[in-house]
């Protein structure tokens, strides 16, 4: 893909990344990843091809807090499996973290 191009993939199974949005430019280095999906199975998120991390279900969404150590383009993928060996529902997008000061916890 070309630089700056935003992409979202969905298989129609009801998993959608709500935040960050495709192509979004974010000043805050600790944006939550927010995924809309049913409660049929756990939702996991991978950032920049890293390990899958389990999200928490709260207020009708699946959430993951993440701190980005560097500005620039990042890629997030969310998946939900209905069973351990079954196919996953997927959604993904590219976004950009702008140079800012790191957030504190």
Condensed to tens digits (0 to 9), the pLDDT of residues 63-82 reads: 998 877 788 898 999 999 87
Q: Which among 34, 33, 38 is positioned nearest to 80, based on CA atoms?
A: 38
The answer as to whether 4 is a domain residue is no
Q: Hey, what are 96's tokens? A: 């950009």
> Measured between alpha carbons, how far is 103 from 69 in angstroms, rounded to an integer?
10
Q: What is the DSSP code (8-state) at residue 23?
A: T
The answer as to whether 47 is a domain residue is yes
Tell me the residue range of the domain where 33 lies.
Answer: 9-97
Q: Which of 14-28, 43-57, 87-101 shows the lowest per-residue confidence on average (mean pLDDT)?
A: 87-101
Which has more pLDDT, 14 or 29?
Answer: 14
The string of DSSP letters for 61-89 reads EEEEE---SS-EEEEEEEEEESSSSSPEE
Condensed to tens digits (0 to 9), the pLDDT of residues 6-25 reads: 233 333 458 999 988 898 88
The answer as to whether 104 is a domain residue is no
> Measured between alpha carbons, how far is 8 from 54 in angstroms, rounded to an integer?
20
For residue 49, the domain's CATH number is 2.60.40.10
The answer as to whether 79 is a domain residue is yes
């Amino acid at each position: 893909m070309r630089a700056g191009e935003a992409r979202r993939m969905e298989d129609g199974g009801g998993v959608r990344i709500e935040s960050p949005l495709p192509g979004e430019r974010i000043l805050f280095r600790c944006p939550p990843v927010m995924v809309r999906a049913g409660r049929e199975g756990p939702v996991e998120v991978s950032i920049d091809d890293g390990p899958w991390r389990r999200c928490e279900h709260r207020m009708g969404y699946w959430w993951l807090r993440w701190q980005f150590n560097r500005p620039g383009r990042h890629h997030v993928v969310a998946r939900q499996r209905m069973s351990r060996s079954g196919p996953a529902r997927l959604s993904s997008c590219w976004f950009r973290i702008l140079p800012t000061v790191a957030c504190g916890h």
